[in-house]
Structure 1
Amino acid sequence: MTLEQLRIFIEVAEREHLTRASEALHLTPSAVSSAIRILEERYGAMLFNRIGRRIELTGDGQLFLEEARATLARAQSAERMLSELGGGKRGLLAIHASQTIASYWLPPYLAQFHATYPLIDVRLTLGNTESVRAATEAGLADIGLVEGAVQASTLSLRKVGTDKLIVVTKPDHIWHKTEKLTWDTLFSGQWILREHGSGTRSVFEDAMRAAGYNPARLALALELPSNEAICSAVLSGNYVTAISELVAAPHLAAGTLVKADFSLPQRQFLMLSHNDRYQTKALKSFSDMLMKEPHMSRTEQLPA
């Protein structure tokens, strides 16, 4: 059974006249009559009663008319969806992002994107830099967003923003009153850090190595899997951490955490996409939006 047969059947059923139906369909009466006959013979169902030059639906024909209309309506809906998908108005966009980006940097962009493309279904999954890289490589994510260094020849990396790590403590910590902390001083603290594989941890340890120090020398009190858990733990005791300025901002504003006098390098927010996978219109629209933001040159690319 074809959609064309359904269209012919519906037109004949509604007009109860072969010639008028054929005129509406821009077909010959014989072609319309043949299509109806083939449909009836193939399925062994009598759909019309022939009464002179008129035809009318049988009981079976009336039942089938409801189903035919519903089926054709679904086909037309599918056709409209394909047209919208091709035009970038609809679609599915799977984004995997590291915690700092997903919780503190990305939400305004998601809201902006939804306002422009309300029919695109955006599905966000949180992870750390390593899990986001793996998901993007495996095709589970259309776009990955991370703040850590990524090594993957199959992925394209583009800078979409910057962030700064800072060292924070409680206001009553001795470091709050210490000017110009040094790396040597930092090794005297009790540290709470993110897990291995997180961008925050990687950037902090890379800065340590660049200064000639071994991260293994740090006194690591706790290793926790989320930024919020780290902030809560630091608030509860005589601990220190290196964390995104975005994450710490509400605590700094409230005065519950303070920034230690120690400089860490800026880090880049990177957008990952697979070199060999098809880029949907939804993916392209979202990546174009991020690249058009004032903080980013549209042509800036980073090597994989």
Structure 2
Amino acid sequence: MTLDQLKVFVAVADHLHMTRAAEALHMTQSAVSASIAALEQSCGQPLFDRVGRRIELTAAGRLFVGEAQAILKRVAQARDALSDLAGLARGTLTLHASQTIANYWLAPRMNAFHAAHPGIRLELGIGNTTQVAAAVRDGLADLGFVEGEVEEPLIVRRRVPGDELVLVASADAPYADLDTLSAHDIAAMPFVLREPGSGTRQMFEAACRRLGVKPQAVTIVFELPSNEAVLSAVAAGAGATVISRLVAEAGLKAGTLKALPLALPPRNFYVLHHGERDRSRAAEAFVGFIAPPK
């Protein structure tokens, strides 16, 4: 039993005439007759009675026609669904991102993409760089967005426009007015940092090494799991931190935070996808939306 045979059967059942059914299907009458014969053979019973020059559905045929029509309808719906997905008319795209990217960079881009493709449902999970990479690796996320290094052999990274890091402290901190920072200043300064595994922490430790300061020699008074908690502690005078300018911008403008003179390289963001899984049309469109090819 094939879909083509079901299509022919439903057409003959509608017309109760082989020639008219053949014309509607753009087939020869002999091909239609052969298809019906093959279907009846596979069913093990006749579906039509031949009454003189007319044909009628048998009892089995009358029962079967409803099932055949339902099958063909479901197939058509499935084809429509695939067509919708290919045309970005509907679907689901699961994103995972590190906190900074999710809260300050990705959300407005998700909103703009949704406005362009309202049929695509966007789901967002938040974690640190290590957790986001694991979600992509394990197939829990279609795309991941991180700012840290990723050491996963199955994951492909692509750079997208990012932001910059800044060393900030409370405007009232005793070291807030330093014109320059030496390795000694960094080693003596208290810090409030994100947890190990976060992209911001990785960038801070790399900056320390460039200054000749071993990361383990830095005084860390608090290790906190969110940017908001870090900034709250810094504003209260607990210590300095290296953080995204996107995150610190409000505090810098308000004067509650002060940027310190530490040269930090521009920070790239990366979009991750699994190297051995096909990206959906929605995923391809989203990457192209946030980072159009040059």
TM-score (norm 2): 0.82
Once the two structures are superposed, what CA deviation does each residue of 1:194-252 show, in whole Å capped at 9, x if it has no partner? 11111100001110110001121222222222222323444556343221111122344
Q: State the number of aligned residues.
A: 293
1:262 matched residue in structure 2 = 261
Inter-partner Cα distance in structure 1 for 2:154 and 2:55: 64
Deviation at 1:84, TM superposition (A): 4.6
2:226 matched residue in structure 1 = 226
Partners of 1:169 and 1:240 within 8 A in 2: yes
The amino acid that maps onto 1:14 is D
The amino acid that maps onto 2:258 is K
Inter-partner Cα distance in structure 2 for 1:111 and 1:31: 54
Inter-partner Cα distance in structure 2 for 1:242 and 1:161: 19
Deviation at 1:11, TM superposition (A): 1.0
Once the two structures are superposed, what CA deviation does each residue of 1:97-125 show, in whole Å capped at 9, x if it has no partner? 22211221112222232333344444433
Deviation at 1:46, TM superposition (A): 5.3
1:215 matched residue in structure 2 = 215
SS in 1 for 2:231: helix
The change in CA–CA distance for 1:50 and 1:237 in structure 2 (over 3 A counts) is: farther
The change in CA–CA distance for 1:181 and 1:210 in structure 2 (over 3 A counts) is: closer
Once the two structures are superposed, what CA deviation does each residue of 1:31-63 show, in whole Å capped at 9, x if it has no partner? 333433443443355544544333344555444
1:44-63 correspondence to structure 2 within 5 Å:
44=44, 47-58=47-58, 60-63=60-63
Deviation at 1:135, TM superposition (A): 4.1
The change in CA–CA distance for 1:139 and 1:57 in structure 2 (over 3 A counts) is: same
The change in CA–CA distance for 1:254 and 1:12 in structure 2 (over 3 A counts) is: farther
1:106 matched to 2:112? The reply is no
User: Quick check: 182-191 or 83-92, which moved more?
Assistant: 83-92
SS in 1 for 2:261: coil
SS in 2 for 1:133: helix
Partners of 1:166 and 1:245 within 8 A in 2: yes
Inter-partner Cα distance in structure 1 for 2:149 and 2:263: 16
Inter-partner Cα distance in structure 1 for 2:133 and 2:117: 26
Inter-partner Cα distance in structure 1 for 2:58 and 2:228: 69
Inter-partner Cα distance in structure 2 for 1:217 and 1:164: 24
1:81-100 correspondence to structure 2 within 5 Å:
81-86=81-86, 93-100=93-100
Partners of 2:178 and 2:261 within 8 A in 1: no
2:200 matched residue in structure 1 = 200
Inter-partner Cα distance in structure 1 for 2:267 and 2:290: 17
Structure 1 segments, 4+ long, off by >6 Å, are: none
Partners of 1:193 and 1:224 within 8 A in 2: yes
User: Quick check: 34-43 or 244-253, which moved more?
Assistant: 34-43
Q: Give me the CA root mean square deviation.
A: 3.1
1:287 matched residue in structure 2 = 287
Inter-partner Cα distance in structure 1 for 2:183 and 2:270: 28
Inter-partner Cα distance in structure 2 for 1:65 and 1:200: 64
1:68-79 correspondence to structure 2 within 5 Å:
68-79=68-79
User: Quick check: 229-238 or 82-91, which moved more?
Assistant: 82-91
2:39 matched residue in structure 1 = 39
The amino acid that maps onto 1:133 is A
Partners of 1:192 and 1:239 within 8 A in 2: yes
1:302 matched residue in structure 2 = none
Inter-partner Cα distance in structure 2 for 1:139 and 1:235: 39
The amino acid that maps onto 2:117 is Y
SS in 2 for 1:106: helix
1:185 matched to 2:156? The reply is no
The amino acid that maps onto 1:162 is G
Percent sequence identity is 45
**Structure 2: stretches of 5+ with no match in the other structure:** none
User: Quick check: 239-248 or 90-99, which moved more?
Assistant: 90-99
The change in CA–CA distance for 1:135 and 1:245 in structure 2 (over 3 A counts) is: same
2:116 matched residue in structure 1 = 116
1:132 matched to 2:127? The reply is no
TM-score (norm 1): 0.80
1:27 matched residue in structure 2 = 27
Partners of 1:192 and 1:220 within 8 A in 2: yes
1:2-13 correspondence to structure 2 within 5 Å:
2-13=2-13
**Structure 1: stretches of 5+ with no match in the other structure:** 293-297, 300-304
Inter-partner Cα distance in structure 2 for 1:7 and 1:115: 39
1:15 matched residue in structure 2 = 15
The change in CA–CA distance for 1:199 and 1:136 in structure 2 (over 3 A counts) is: same
